[in-house]
Amino acid sequence: MKQRFVIIVLDGFGIGAMNDAATVRPGDEKANTLRSILDDFPEMKLPALESLGLMNAYGKESARMHFVPEANFGKSELMHFGADTFMGHQEIMGTLPKKPTVDPFLTHAEAVAAHLKKNGHKVEIINRDGLKYIVCDDYVTVGDNLEADLGMCYNVTAPLDYISFEKELEIGELVREVVTVGRVIVFGGTGNTMEDLFAAEENKMGRFIGIASSKSKSYEQGYQCRHLGYGVNKNVQAPTILTKAGIPVTLIGKVADIVANDMGTSISCVPTPECMNLTYDAFMNMEKGFICTNIQETDLAGHSQDSARYKEVLEQADAGIARLLPEMEENDILIIQADHGNDPNIGNSKHTRECVPLLIYRKGLKNARVGIRKTMSDNGATCCDYFKAERPENGTSYLDLIGGYAN
């Protein structure tokens, strides 16, 4: 008998601001991603999501989408601080979020340099108008990330024709041991040089300095990347727990790039139809296992403040979900959720701190209510519970509310 647990994350698809948004992210108290799209396109129809209880979770009907009395649904708050795709997915997989600091790299530059030297690395500190960044082992720069909210991330960048990604990653992991910001992003590409990196040096607001990734030519060929999160331990997350227990794990889309899955299958992908086709194929070829898919293009549409594109991507995802539903057997479970909001009409291109829908399908299951979950880790905990595996460090299983263990 087949036993498959699937989570599809519609990245950035929030359904209303969290109660703490006004204090945690001022301005986000006005956010509601789904409402904004419906305001612009009141005739939007998402048949599969509607049938799963999207409007029930949202709490309001639209012109063409209505409550479904037999739907299985709830919604989830975010436990991680802010509204972040990386930390959102770590939370989903069972990580207990730690509160990161928001600091310019200057705050940690000397400590990072000392730690790198202590571990046998050559270090040069670059000084620019009172700001500092690091060049390690001649080819690895360490400085502020200039693309995300300033002070939230540091970049470790290298031209990979001159140093291997594995050695760059070792340096990034040492940086991670010292700093307390949310992410250390280790990346590089081939075909570029240190001159290209130095030419991409930028100073912002007189407090932040680093290599502008978009100008570094790192993305043009041979790109490799690893995100190192604050307080993230892969050993207490669902993918590692499950694969150690012999349960196959497949990650598809952006989740494949940001969640550790050393013993499983990870497939990077961005186009929504392709992500949904890969999900369908993985599901059909799996007897037992866990699949998590991230639909990134919803989030990209939010960043572009393009509700028309957001609607189009939702329709593509909905079609893929509609194709998957008839193939699900009695013991299979499907969860549709998001990881934060990204309101295209909020007036800026940043993520928004919103509750996310929690839609559940299990053949024959009706009227299951899982309420308002305090953390998205409840989904990872439920998945591990479903397979009778060790639970992750965070989250409470709601398996008893959706049919219990497989027969």
Over the stretch 214-250, which tens digit does the pLDDT of each residue have? Answer: 899 998 999 998 889 898 999 999 999 999 999 999 9
Question: What pLDDT score does 1 carry?
Answer: 85
Residue 53's pLDDT is: 98
What is the pLDDT at residue 406?
73
Amino acid code (one letter) for 197: L
Tell me the average pLDDT across 332-338. Answer: 98
Cβ 97 vs Cβ 230: under 8 Å:
no
Angle at 145 between CA 143 and CA 151, to 5 degrees: 95
φ and ψ at 213, to 5 degrees? -60, -40
pLDDT at 407: 65
User: What integer is the mean pLDDT of 162-177?
Assistant: 97
What is the average pLDDT score of the chain?
A: 96
What is the Cα–Cα distance from 278 to 253, expressed in whole angstroms? 9
When pLDDT is averaged across residues 203-221 and rounded to a whole number, the result is: 93
Does residue 96 surpass a pLDDT of 90?
yes
d(CA 359, CA 336): 5
Q: Using alpha carbons only, how large is the chain's radius of gyration in Å?
A: 22
Tell me: pLDDT of 312 over 90. Answer: yes
Of all residues in the chain, the percent with pLDDT exceeding 70 is: 100
- pLDDT score of 148: 78
Average pLDDT over residues 299-316: 96
Query: Whole-angstrom Cα distance, residue 138 to residue 121?
Result: 10
